[in-house]
Amino acid sequence: MKSLTLRSPAKINLFLEVLGKRPDGYHEIETVFQPINIFDHLTIKEKSRQARAPELTITTDQPGLPTGPANLVYQAAALFKKNYRIKQGLDIFIKKRIPTGAGLGGGSSNAATTLMGLNKLWKLGLSQLELSHLGQKLGADVPFFIYRQTALAKRRGELIFPLALTRKFHYLVIWPGFSCPTKKIYGNLTLGLTNKIHDVSIFLNVLRKGRPDQIDSCLFNRLAPTVFRLYPELKNLARYVKSNISPGVSVSGSGSSIFCCLSSGKEVKKTARQLRRSHRSALVFETTNYLP
């Protein structure tokens, strides 16, 4: 039976502006996605044709993670099989490293990796655009993970404009040990008439120049004040990072992870050691942007 193992990267949002509420109830956003070198691993294996087990089986090393239809990997595999009329059964094992509910896109990445993996496993030759359209049915962030490169995203986040960036950037990513439900954050978001819309093109110009200090000072997330208001302990963690590590600290997605961009891997290692001593319940990642 054929099988393969694939890496499934996390992401951070370097920029996130909420432009308003859409007629469908979702929010119109502009965001800059950055894939980073924190990975889950998916092993996709065909079932024996003689096996009487369920057609699709998901297992994982993370206790409490759904393995049935509530899991995005399950949904992605089922959608792919139905769309291309494939009856072959599958066993998929998810080795988790990306925390769930952390704003790092682990579930969406796993779904996209499943689509890409099945395309490769069964040699269908589908393009990134075709896989992206399929991924939209699973979630707004899924198309980004098909392209796996720094990208500007619009609408709900599913309209992707890849950016040609080749420089390595060093990030310190901190997960506080709890999640921030996306629906709760958006449900408590207040967009006042006096809010000045941040122009994403200004941030993109800074990003293209490639200076970590400038990027760090320009990080922006419209959801951050709401996240910090609802989770004061996360606000305190961000305040510590801002005072002791970097003046530029931001929230990824709707939280709960926060991050900053530092000048070198050496600086990331030094500050990671400091954080692990001062905040023992937090999970600290030393990482860089993912370059395909």
Residue-wise pLDDT tens digits, 201-226: 999 999 999 888 899 989 999 999 99
Site of tokens 């990975």: 39
Catalytic residue among 2, 11, 87, 242: 11
Please compute the mean of the pLDDT values over residues 12-32 and round it to a whole number.
94
pLDDT in tens, 82-128: 999 999 999 999 999 999 999 999 999 999 999 999 999 999 999 99
216 part of the active site:
no
Angle at 165 (CA atoms; ends 117, 126), nearest 5 degrees? 25
Question: Is residue 3 within 8 Å of residue 46, measured between CB atoms?
Answer: yes
* Residue 193: predicted pLDDT: 62
- CATH number (3.40.50.920, 3.40.640.10, 3.30.230.10, 3.60.21.10) of 3-162 reads 3.30.230.10
The C-alpha atoms of residue 217 and residue 237 are separated, in whole angstroms, by: 18
* Residue 48: predicted pLDDT: 84
As annotated, the residues of the chain forming the CATH 3.30.70.890 domain(s) are 170-288
Which residues partner with 192 through β-bridges?
Answer: none
**What's 190's DSSP letter?**
-
Asked which of 51-60, 107-116, 133-142, 203-212 is least confident by mean pLDDT, the reply is 51-60
* Residue 51: predicted pLDDT: 58
Please compute the mean of the pLDDT values over residues 164-169 and round it to a whole number.
89
Q: Return the H-helix or E-strand segment holding 185.
A: helix 182-187
As annotated, the residues of the chain forming the CATH 3.30.230.10 domain(s) are 3-162
Please compute the mean of the pLDDT values over residues 121-147 and round it to a whole number.
97
pLDDT in tens, 253-267: 999 999 999 999 999
The C-alpha atoms of residue 145 and residue 94 are separated, in whole angstroms, by: 16
Residue 93: count of CB within 10 angstroms of its CB: 17
**Statement: residue 52 has pLDDT above 80:** no
Catalytic residue among 40, 91, 141, 216: 141
* Residue 53: predicted pLDDT: 64
**What's 87's DSSP letter?**
-
Which CATH architecture best describes the domain 170-288? 2-Layer Sandwich (3.30)
* Residue 50: predicted pLDDT: 67
**What's 197's DSSP letter?**
P
141 part of the active site:
yes
